[in-house]
């Protein structure tokens, strides 16, 4: 236990700080993902794949700020570049070359990225993709997968809370709101399809054939179950969009880590527009959207008729651009191959642990990410992957066991997001921790 306690510099405990936080911030947190019972643990510092809280407890970080840190914490090359930029100022009302250099780097990575624009978050990127699709097609409706998470834009949130009491017939999944007070108009304009189910999805799309601006697809949707989109599913949607004048929009906010050109490089068809975020900011707030030149023209202020006026005080912020560029330069083909191979090795070791402990657990994922499911057969659909209350309670207990006993941080679906600074040592610790946990919770 004491091995993990490396320093005690802070005067106050996490519990004391949280008490103050609750007086000021609803639930004491500005992101619900920070919430942790009985109180969140406040961080003192982090380096590489290790995070130390103010109580001095060090943990291995397999959450990496919800998949946003591809090189772990405080990577020296990113830190140096950022400090240099910060000394020169952090935000101007004029343009910087940092934006153009990052744009070049990203556009060079995927053939579909003919033009790109930067924003401040994945939420904004998805919002911009939806608005650009509407502006280009002149249509209002969008369609997204049941249960999929795409950030917090009203339209993108629809169906995120789909559960057995409200999810409806598979041929007509409900457009259930997430936030109370979501306007009916929003719900009417979001059509829900069942992920990876070609026949039903096409039938649902056909019902709205001339109304759909874009079909939003996450190629490996985390909340749906972290199952890669089947090539034939993606191709069928692509074909449908060609026939019906709609756009294919990928959300690669998380999945861009899967390959040099994101998960889209694994498909024979390419999306018209792509939302990006997380790793492309090198640890700083960022988002971007990229795609076909003719579509992105809706944003061009030189056009006589500007169809989608778009701005943002901190968009293309030079600190984020600099950090992101260095992070993505480091995340080259070789680094990706190495990281994905390490993740594959980790999955193999965890599968071995599952076998030894003889527990009904399965794994889904792609590239440098995976998710555990508390069932022997890996889920193929959102409804199969859905965690009911009982399963969720069990998952929470497991997460607490890993956090407190094994000193391991994960994403709360039981998912791990690897970083390039991880080594065999960390995956050995992780697979041993899982083995201990499987035995404990058998
Ligand atoms: N899209 C996907 C697939 C995501 O996982 C997320 C965030 O987790 C977002 C969009 C929203 O990104 P952000 O949290 O930066 O707004």
CATH of the domain at 387: 3.90.1150.10
Question: Is 371 found in the same domain as 390?
Answer: yes
Residue 34 is predicted with a pLDDT of: 87
Residue carrying structure tokens 């697979």: 431
Residue carrying structure tokens 């193999």: 348
Distance 98 CA to ligand 1 centre (A): 23
Phi and psi for 297 in degrees, rounded to 5? Answer: -60, -25
Q: Whose CA is nearest to atom 3 of ligand 1?
A: 150
Pocket test for ligand 1, best of 277, 279, 286, 366 (most atoms within 8 A of CB): 277
* Cα–Cα distance for residue pair 204/321, rounded to 1 Å: 40
The model scores a pTM over 0.95? yes
Question: Is 376 found in the same domain as 326?
Answer: no
Question: Is 84 found in the same domain as 208?
Answer: yes
Phi-psi region of 291 (alpha: psi -120 to 50; beta: other; left: phi over 0): left
Catalytic residues: 149, 251, 278
Question: Is 349 found in the same domain as 309?
Answer: no
Question: Is 176 found in the same domain as 57?
Answer: no
Taken in order 269, 273, 276, 280, is the CA torsion positive or negative? positive
Question: Is 325 found in the same domain as 372?
Answer: no
On the question of pLDDT at 224 being above 80, the answer is yes
Residue 145: closest CA among 160, 133, 134, 131: 160
* Cα–Cα distance for residue pair 235/180, rounded to 1 Å: 35
Q: Which of 302, 330, 358 is the last residue of a domain?
A: 330
Neighbours of 358 (CB within 10 A): 10
Question: Is 120 found in the same domain as 263?
Answer: yes
* Cα–Cα distance for residue pair 430/402, rounded to 1 Å: 9
Neighbours of 266 (CB within 10 A): 18
Phi and psi for 249 in degrees, rounded to 5? Answer: -115, 125
DSSP bridge pairs for 47: 50
Q: Which of 330, 364, 390 is the last residue of a domain?
A: 330
Distance 352 CA to ligand 1 centre (A): 32
Number of domains in the chain: 2
Question: Is 110 found in the same domain as 57?
Answer: no
Mean pLDDT over the full length of the chain: 96
Ligand 1 and 217: CB distance under 6 A: no
**Structure tokens given for 137:** 């097609």
Q: CA triplet 64, 115, 72: central angle to 5 degrees?
A: 15
Mean of pLDDT values over 419-425: 98
What strands, in cross-sheet order, belong to the sheet with 408-409?
43-47, 50-53, 58-61, 408-409
* Cα–Cα distance for residue pair 186/189, rounded to 1 Å: 5
Question: Is 420 found in the same domain as 391?
Answer: yes
Q: Whose CA is nearest to atom 12 of ligand 1?
A: 122
Pocket test for ligand 1, best of 33, 148, 149, 320 (most atoms within 8 A of CB): 149
The band of 1, judged by pLDDT with boundaries at 50, 70 and 90, is very low
Residue 11 is predicted with a pLDDT of: 83
What CATH number does residue 83 fall under? 3.40.640.10
3-class state of residue 208 by DSSP: coil
* In contact, 365 and 222? CB cutoff 8 Å: no
Question: Is 62 found in the same domain as 6?
Answer: yes
3-class state of residue 421 by DSSP: coil
Domain, as residue range, for 128: 76-330
Question: Is 226 found in the same domain as 195?
Answer: yes
Q: Which of 309, 330, 351 is the last residue of a domain?
A: 330
Question: Is 352 found in the same domain as 209?
Answer: no
Mean of pLDDT values over 212-234: 98
On the question of pLDDT at 7 being above 70, the answer is no
* Cα–Cα distance for residue pair 153/158, rounded to 1 Å: 9
Q: What is the pLDDT of residues 272-289, one digit of tens each?
A: 999 999 999 999 999 999
Ligand 1 and 151: CB distance under 6 A: yes
């Amino acid at each position: 236990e004491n091995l993990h306690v490396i320093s005690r510099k802070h005067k106050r405990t996490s519990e004391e700080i949280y008490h103050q936080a609750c007086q000021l911030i609803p639930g004491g947190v500005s992101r619900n993902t920070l919430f942790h019972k009985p109180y969140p643990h406040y961080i003192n510092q982090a380096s590489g794949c290790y995070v130390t809280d103010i109580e001095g407890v060090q943990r291995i970080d397999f959450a990496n700020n919800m998949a946003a840190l591809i090189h772990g914490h405080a990577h020296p090359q990113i830190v140096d570049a950022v400090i240099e930029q910060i000394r020169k100022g952090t935000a101007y009302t004029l343009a910087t070359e940092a934006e153009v250099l990052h744009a070049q780097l990203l556009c060079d990575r995927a053939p579909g990225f003919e033009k790109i624009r930067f924003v401040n978050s994945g939420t904004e990127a998805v919002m911009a993709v939806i608005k650009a699709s509407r502006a280009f097609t002149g249509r209002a409706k969008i369609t997204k997968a049941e249960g999929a998470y795409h950030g917090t834009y009203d339209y993108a949130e629809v169906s995120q809370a789909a559960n057995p009491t409200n999810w409806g017939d598979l041929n007509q999944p409900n457009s259930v709101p997430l936030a109370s007070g979501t306007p009916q108009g929003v719900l009417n304009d979001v059509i829900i399809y069942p992920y990876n189910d070609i026949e039903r999805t096409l039938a649902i799309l056909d019902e709205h054939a001339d109304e759909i601006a874009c079909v939003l697809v996450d190629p490996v949707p985390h909340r749906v179950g972290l199952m890669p989109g089947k090539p034939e599913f993606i191709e069928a949607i692509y074909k449908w969009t060609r026939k019906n004048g709609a756009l294919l929009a990928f959300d690669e906010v998380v999945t861009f880590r899967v390959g040099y050109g994101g998960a889209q490089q694994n498909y024979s068809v390419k999306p018209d527009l792509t939302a990006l975020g997380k790793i492309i900011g090198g640890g700083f707030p960022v988002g971007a959207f990229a795609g076909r030149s003719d579509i992105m023209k809706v944003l061009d202020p030189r056009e006589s008729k500007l169809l989608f006026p778009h701005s943002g005080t901190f968009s293309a912020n030079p600190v984020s651009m600099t950090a992101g560029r260095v992070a993505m330069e480091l995340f080259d083909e070789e680094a990706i191959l190495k990281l994905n191979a390490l993740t594959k090795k980790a999955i193999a070791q965890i599968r071995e642990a599952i076998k030894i402990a003889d527990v009904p657990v399965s794994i889904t994922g792609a590239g440098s990410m995976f998710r555990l499911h508390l069932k022997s057969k890996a889920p193929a659909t959102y409804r199969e992957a859905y965690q009911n209350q009982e399963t969720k309670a069990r998952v929470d207990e497991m997460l607490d066991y890993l956090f407190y006993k094994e000193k391991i941080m994960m994403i709360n679906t039981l998912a791990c997001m690897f970083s390039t600074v991880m080594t065999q040592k960390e995956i050995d610790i992780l697979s041993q921790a899982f083995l201990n946990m499987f035995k404990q919770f058998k």
